[in-house]
Structure 1
Amino acid sequence: MLYAAVEATWAVTGTTVQWKEHSAYAPGVQLFLAALALLAGGACLASTRTLARISRVVVAMALITALPVFVVGMNGLPIYFVTITTLSGVESATGLAQVLLNTAGAALLLLVGLSYRRRLRGDCPRCGRPHGGAADGPLAHPAASRAPRRTRVAVYLLMCGLLPWAGTKTVWTLGGDALGVAGDDWQRMSVASASGPSKATASAGIDVTVLAAMVGIFLLLGLLYVWGQVFPRWTVVLSGRRVPRLLPLIPAWLTGIPLTMYGVALLIIAPLMAAGVLPKIEPDPPFTTSAGITWFAEFGGLAFGGLGIGLVVAARSYSARTRPVCASATATAHRDCLRNPSPSGTLPGTTRPASGRQQDDS
């Protein structure tokens, strides 16, 4: 309702809401988004009730239709995050508000959809396991574990997509020439267009976007290894305590999904421009050739797409490995095990931990 009210107010008052550079939302689009938000809100309320089959299908279709729209609307979140953290200024306050509203809407719709799917399957809407009793009791958290080897290898390969983009920017910041761009021209324009801390880092020959990518890599490693679930010793006060599950998951999902969309778009557009299917971008200083811009766009697609997909893959593994279970579900499993013990001596629905290499892949 809040989202719909804001969109309708902007449409009626003719407020400019930036969608991308030099583009704004049309009033008709804003009214459509307001109507879609009301539809999604009604579906969320209906998802908690006992419904007939046709009503369940309608609710599911409403959630499935609305969620991608909100996800696409949060595409500019990483860009705003970088500009805010570097104190470079926000280009459009209404554009930032729109992205935040879409982000909140996408996150809430995703949680409602997940809970609704579990409820339809007869599972606990909170932990996803079938059990009796209420779904608001204490939770049992699994032991800390690192991601399976296949997941780690996949994420490392995706991280390699950062190398051409970060390497080119590093060459420029060190004064070298690449892709038809002179290092001196790049440094001069970077310092002139930067502000706040980003201006200081640019003056020191450090690109702030490369630093942001390093933060993304740090988050990736935390999602893959045990120290992302239990605070390591170097955190001093927090050492040995369990990391709140949503602390790494929220930034991973909110950053990984928009980066994936942005990176994949660049990976598609750059080859089309090189093949002449799409018009080539006219060189704009410090670039001197259209080919240089096209190659840099391709490098950006590899970097942003690789980092975004890596965050999504790592976050999915982290979410599965750290998902808590209602204590009542654990108690039910123990009772079932005592009544019907399995030959292997393990709880129903579980497997005996393997050793060595098999344990790492389990």
Structure 2
Amino acid sequence: MTLLRMVMALPDPRFSTPRVLGVDDFAIRRGQTYSTYSTVLTSVEDQRVVDVLPTREAGPLAAWLIRHPDVEIICRDRAGAYAEGARRGAPDALQIADRIHLWQGLGRAVETCVAAHRDCLRDPSPSGMLPKATRLTSGRPQDDQAPVGRRAARRKAAHTLTHELFAQGHSRRAIARHLG
């Protein structure tokens, strides 16, 4: 208890306005909608929390930036409210996208592109690992109760082929390599 009293008696740490400010939202309560989200402001260079704003709106961010004019770079997600708040509160600051949102956007773009050109891609499995008769050819299921969509059809065909190969005595590792 003495140690806790001593720590509690310490003054709150002072911080200088960060040069590079990170702006992102977080859920106040787990599994809630965006109405229960707040904004966390971080110093990107020091990796510490600078402040927490009560909402995800432009007004509080703009007001905070006006009170702290030394911010040069604002690293944020693509939320329109954060863009507007940064524009109003620090018009001279450079706004950049944060790394996680860039990676997420890139991942979605690659996934969409690959899905659109899936038929152009070759089978990446090395030839000769398993008998030629067991290779996937069309990717279409053979029974009457075919699932809807090409992805579901390929999944069902791969599932059937997996069981056939296992019944033929191939190891799980060899089947996994073959099917990729």
Instruction: Give TM-score scaled by structure 2 length.
Output: 0.27
**More contact order relative to length (CA 8 Å, sep ≥ 6):** 1
Which is helix-richer, 1 or 2?
1
Which is strand-richer, 1 or 2?
2
Instruction: Give TM-score scaled by structure 1 length.
Output: 0.16
